[in-house]
Amino acid sequence: MGKTVGSATEPLGWYEAAALRVLLVDADPDTLEMYSEWLRLAGLVPFSAMTTQQAWYAVRTYRPHAIVSDIQLQRRFDGLELMQQILNDQSFSDTPILALTGFESPEYRAQAERAGCTAFLLKPCEPERLVSALVRALEKSAQRRRSWRQDSSRTRARPI
């Protein structure tokens, strides 16, 4: 079963009813509003931040399942710093982060990858493409968690 998003049907599968939270970080309120609406239509629960301070507060308070952030906020490339800060915190180190930016440059893409981004999307990004990238990132994250749980259950000491 899938959700219809625009003209594409996205296979939301395992988390279709899970109310997964997605944090959107962008300095432009119109961008936040547009992508928030599309994520809601896809069955996700979006919330937004316009600054790194708001975003870090939201991450700690609401614990999003995924984050979509521009790499430039407040006239600096502090979106990259935010990504590194989030992934350096053990509590959020497996949270998928997608870069959504207007900076089309191999240098910025490489910086985003070094910061730990799961995907690098260019603005303007079709909402269906963003939803598809989020679905892939969330599914990979869930697979990693299942794998870690299986590995840890195999390595636990068993009573004799």
Instruction: Map out the domains of the chain as residue ranges.
Output: 16-155
Say yes or no to pLDDT of 42 above 60: yes
List the end-to-end C-alpha distance of the chain, in Å, as a whole number: 45
Single-letter residue type at 51: T
User: pTM for this structure?
Assistant: 0.80
Contact 32, 26 (CB under 8 A): yes
Helix (H) or strand (E) holding 52: helix 52-62
Residue whose C-alpha is closest to residue 83's, from 124, 123, 111, 50: 111
Which of the two residues, 159 and 77, has the higher pLDDT score?
Answer: 77
CATH architecture of the domain 16-155 equals: 3-Layer(aba) Sandwich (3.40)
Structure tokens that stand for 30 in this block: 């119109």
Q: What mean pLDDT value characterizes the chain?
A: 83
